[in-house]
Amino acid sequence: MAIVTAPGLVGTAYAAPSAPSAPAAPFAPAAPGSPAAPEPGAKTLEQVHKEIEELYRQAGTATDAYNLAVGETKAQSDKIVEIAKQVVAGQERIATLKNRAGAAARAQYRSGGLPPGAQLALSNSPSMFLNGADLLRQGEKAASDTLSELARTQADLQQYATDASAHWQTLEANRVKQETAKKEIEQKIKTAEELESKLQAEEKARLIQLEQDAQYKAQTAWLSSGALKELQGTASEAGRKAVQFATAQIGKRYEWGHEGPDTFDCSGLTSQAWLAAGKPIPRTSQEQLRLLPKVAVKDMRPGDLIIYFDDASHVAMYIGDGAMVHAPRPGRTITIAGAGSMPIKAVVRPDA
């Protein structure tokens, strides 16, 4: 099965990954006389690696919450704007109806204050009386309709006010969620970056190697499970376009809350890729999981989205041959990796 790529992109098969270099050893006490012996109880590099990865994963979860709150805030804002337009239209309608009712009152005043029925009764012409009676019924119905419509429009305005109040409350709640998630994201990333900043250059290199080795082990175990044996899926035309968009972004930086064109977070990449393919999908990985049709791993085809971790905090796009493209986390760029290099929760298909 060939990887679907953008024109000019060299595909990398992930069905048989090459063996990693020797696993990095944990921090060990320095030899006697060496200048930099670690303090008692110091964390091993493996422990630092796990802590950093967990912090970034938690930041990913908070990013999903932030993106969802941003979307909901925009939706509520749009509803409030629509209600405002309805209020203006309702007020204009009430003004028209009041003018109509006022015109009828002024006409009655000019006739000496006599109701139309009394004027007809005093008429000396039978034919005028009969014609007038029909006009009177029409006029009474028009007046009744005007009053009824006026009452309905006033009731609508009251409902609009109630709706606007409810939407404002939801809008403010979403803004609070958005700000809370933003603070959590920034704190998690700051903590992770502080941990990394304390490492020496050699240790940082070993940390990257640990990350690669962990991904290799997970991918190898996934492939050994036979996950690719029954894969026969061929990309749809829309799926091919989505893969081409996603792979064309390789090398661009991850940045939380962004959906292009220069930086992306994980779900920003997948949602924009499918938008480019003509299929708008939910903005966040959790909403993509909740709202898009699920497919079995054995039925996976290029363009499908792979949701990772129990909390659905990360998403990637399958591109074939056991590989996926994704925006990993802060400090990383969009890249191709093994589809099984993280715990798979589900696979969803935007164009099912």
String of DSSP letters for 64-102: HHHHHHHHHHHHHHHHHHHHHHHHHHHHHHHHHHHHHHH
- C-alpha 333/C-alpha 251 separation (Å) is 5
pLDDT tens per residue across span 322-340: 999 999 999 999 999 999 9
Residues pairing with 344 in the sheet: 308
Stretch 174-178: mean pLDDT, rounded? 85
Is 167 assigned a catalytic role?
no
User: Is the confidence at residue 286, as pLDDT, over 50?
Assistant: yes
* Eight-class DSSP state of 299: G
Confidence of residue 33 (pLDDT cuts 50, 70, 90): very low
Checking if the pLDDT of 21 tops 50, the result is no
Q: What is the pLDDT of the chain when averaged over all its residues?
A: 80
Q: What's the pLDDT score for residue 88? A: 86
The verdict on whether omega for the bond into residue 261 sits within 30 degrees of 0, i.e. cis, is yes
pLDDT at 39: 53
Q: Give how far the C-alpha of residue 219 lies from the chain's centroid of Cα atoms, to the nearest Å.
A: 28
Helix then strand then coil, in percent of the chain rounded to 5, is: 55, 10, 35
Question: Which of the four pLDDT bands, split at 50, 70 and 90, describes residue 138?
Answer: low
What value does the mean pLDDT take over residues 9-31? Answer: 41
Q: What is the pLDDT of residue 12?
A: 44
Task: Give residue 137's pLDDT.
Answer: 59
Q: What is the largest CA-CA distance in the chain?
A: 130
Residue 118 pLDDT greater than 80, yes or no: no
State the Cα–Cα distance between residues 74 and 97, nearest whole angstrom: 35
Closest C-alpha to 63, from 345, 313, 290: 313
Q: What is the mean pLDDT of residues 4-33?
A: 42
Least confident of 20-34, 66-80, 251-265: 20-34
The predicted model gives 161-170 an average pLDDT of 84
326 is catalytic: yes
Q: What is the pLDDT of residue 247?
A: 95
Predicted confidence (pLDDT) at residue 50 exceeds the cutoff of 60: yes
**Is a pLDDT exceeding 70 seen at residue 41?**
no
Coil, strand, or helix at residue 307?
strand
Model pLDDT, residue 109 = 57
Write the pLDDT tens digit of every residue in 201-213: 888 888 889 888 8
pLDDT, tens digit (0-9, with 9 covering 90-100), for 288-323? 999 999 999 989 999 999 999 999 999 999 999 899
Residue 279, pLDDT above cutoff 90: yes
pLDDT at 16: 45
Tokens of 137: 């019924």
Annotated catalytic residue within 49, 167, 258, 266? 266
Give the model's confidence band at 28: pLDDT under 50 very low, under 70 low, under 90 confident, else very high: very low
Q: Dump strand ranges (E) for the chain.
A: 294-295, 305-308, 314-320, 323-326, 335-338, 344-348
* Residue-by-residue DSSP string for 232-294: -----HHHHHHHHHHHHTTTPBB-TT-BSSS-B-HHHHHHHHHHHTT----SSHHHHHHHSPE
Helix (H, G, I), strand (E, B) or coil at 324: strand
